[in-house]
Amino acid sequence: MIRINALLNSKQAISKLTCIQTPSSSSIIRIRTYSYSIQQFQSAHPRVQTLKLQKRFTANSSRNKSTLSSPIEEATESNLHQLLLKPRRIPIPRWITPRQKTFNISECFGHVSFVLVAASYATDDFLLLRSMAVAGSSAMLVFTYHHPHGRVLWLPFQWNALFIGINIYRIAKSLYYQHKGMNLNPEMLTLKQKYFDTMDIVDFAKLMEIAQEETFEKNDLVCYQGQKNAYVRLVIEGKLNAMRDGIKTYSLEEGNFVTESGLHAGLLLDGTIETSCTIVATSETPSRCLKWNRTELVELLKAENGLRRTFKAILSWDIVRKLKGQRDIITDHEIDDMELWTLKRKEQTDVRYAALVQNIFTLPRSEAAMKKCISELEHYRTIHHIDDEHHEMALKRIGLTLEEYKAGKKNPTAVLVDVDMDGDDNVDDENENKVTTEEYGNRNAVIAQAVVANNDTES
């Protein structure tokens, strides 16, 4: 019986190199076949038995991709393969071990790949980690293509090629935003250095990409009390006053955020949130702000974990600056009635909290998202000392019961009610049932009230 070891390059055609060995002789006859099918070959040679019919590449035959490859390409690939797989002896003294240790360059590429992957786990730098991942995967490509066993390991080869593509895309994206951040105008770079120093330049560029600049003249209204506000702002020049029912509660200067509404506590609420006070420009020169759409900003913060952490820390420091600003108002004797000022500050805090609860229970959310929002809201309560009494008052104001709050579901027939947030129960009977948001934030009345109060303060 004549035996044949056929190495196939396709499902039907026998490969270039075929080895035939007769039982009466140990010699191997090498023949080349190009157009025979398996059935045709077996019918022409009935005594031939095929031992292995599989798609594989060896050093002698399968490295040639097709019969149309040029001799130069075949010779180059063959020489490269021989160079990478040539055994090389490690010169170890015989007194250490009498055995000879050998290696080849292909194995070195494999070891380098795993060493780079292990080293990448010890770095925190984004670009360095991605670069090491690309280098490690590239070394693995060489090892899997020129494998010491003589065949290409296509499965790891293809996966590593995919990983290289993903990492190169992330590196290119990071370098693009880094270039964009370094080429921001000098004013924005100074702003970053002063107030966003903990934020990476790449994240800062992403933040500035979705920001818009707006300008306000003296006595211009930024937002009014009771307004459904969809923006987060940052003062970059000038001065703004925050007023609750015409009473100045604090001032906003360069580097202060406006209407961030819970972002410092991790509440990533999109849509609109009711404004708890009126913000008016007060400086003689135009006041300038950067403005972000809240929904776009929240989507960016959810997508970028590093940006979200640093942005949250920056907002926390901003709250500290605002508290120091309130202390300066007291020491500069800008407050005539300290008791009334304290009452309005407390009322402003309670109304802001009620607005956050209203946003959570108004917009559609999944059960898991609702639980997460309620958990973050409890964290907000701890930071701002919202006790159970004021918590229940806030729920009552938006028409929500304590049981609905705990269940995470609001009755669709609930309405916004007017609640006296200072707790003295002095509410008119005709307004006790319900009041619309538009009526609560009467724009014209609030504007007139804010401007008059601002003029009185300036005088």
Kindly list the structural domains of the chain, giving each domain's residue range(s) and its CATH number in brackets, ordered by start: 2-62 (no CATH), 100-179 (no CATH), 187-458 (2.60.120.10)
- When comparing pLDDT for 369 and 421, which is higher? 369
Of residues 392, 389, 393, 398, the one with CA closest to residue 437? 398
CA distances from 346 to 44, 211, 271, 277, 386 (A): 99, 31, 25, 12, 10
Residue-wise DSSP of 406-450: HHT---TT-------TTSS----GGGSS---HHHHT-HHHHHHHH
Q: What is the pLDDT of residues 135-183, one digit of tens each?
A: 999 999 999 988 888 788 999 999 999 999 999 999 999 899 989 988 9
- pLDDT > 70? residue 40: no
Q: Are strands 231-237 and 257-258 parallel, antiparallel or unpaired?
A: antiparallel
Angle at 124 between CA 123 and CA 125, to 5 degrees: 95
Contacts of residue 286, Cβ cutoff 8 Å, sequence gap at least 6: 215, 216, 217, 237, 238
Pairwise CA distance, residues 395 & 405, whole Å: 8
Q: What is the pLDDT of residues 266-281, one digit of tens each?
A: 889 999 999 999 999 9
How would you list the strands of the sheet with 48-55, edge to edge? 28-32, 14-21, 2-8, 48-55
Q: What is the pLDDT of residue 210?
A: 94
Q: Please state the rounded mean pLDDT for residues 91-109.
A: 81
- pLDDT > 80? residue 288: yes
Q: What is the pLDDT of residue 332?
A: 80
Distinct helix (H) and strand (E) counts, the chain: 15, 16
**Three-state SS for 347?**
helix
Q: Please state the rounded mean pLDDT for residues 101-120.
A: 88
Contacts of residue 100, Cβ cutoff 8 Å, sequence gap at least 6: 89, 90, 92
pLDDT above 90 as % of the chain: 33
Count CB-CB contacts under 10 A for residue 92.
Answer: 12
Q: Are 447 and 280 spatial neighbours (Cβ–Cβ below 8 Å)?
A: no
